[in-house]
Amino acid sequence: MLRLGGISLSLSVFCDADFANCKDTRKLISGFMTKVGDSCITWKSRKQSTVSTSSCEAEYKAQYERGKEAISTGILLKDLGIDIVYPLEVCADNQGAIAPAGNSQITNRNKHFVIIFH
């Protein structure tokens, strides 16, 4: 049940990705779930369109795509008159991908995808 009211709600996106799981294309599968307050409003799992060179890059791509989705969902909810608590929350489980998203630990090993997606 989606519960909306006169309070501000949090918008959270949870994402995860595997690395080169498809044996034919070596493309990864990423999945996400978007929550407003305690209610799940969107979810999806799909093969990414490009091949990643590391699990860190795969996770970073998933975070990037979900971050864009969170922003557009926040704008849509605002247009519908639903107040959202900022900042939006993007939850992930790979420390190698989380660190560059916070503008730290950009190294020779990750700068090729941080430049593209950050």
Percent of the chain with pLDDT over 90: 4
Report pTM.
Answer: 0.66
Tally of structural domains, the chain: 1
Rounded to a whole number of angstroms, the CA Rg of the chain reads 16
Residue 41 resides in a domain: yes
Per the structure, the complete domain to which residue 36 belongs is given by 9-117
Residue 3 resides in a domain: no
Chain segment 3-33, per-residue pLDDT in tens: 555 667 889 888 887 766 667 777 778 888 9
CATH of the domain at 82: 3.30.420.10
Chain segment 72-83, per-residue pLDDT in tens: 888 998 898 888
Pairwise CA distance, residues 118 & 51, whole Å: 18
Residue 111 resides in a domain: yes
Q: Tell which residue, 38, 45, 85, 79, has the closest CA to residue 65.
A: 45
Residue 2 resides in a domain: no
Residue 47 resides in a domain: yes
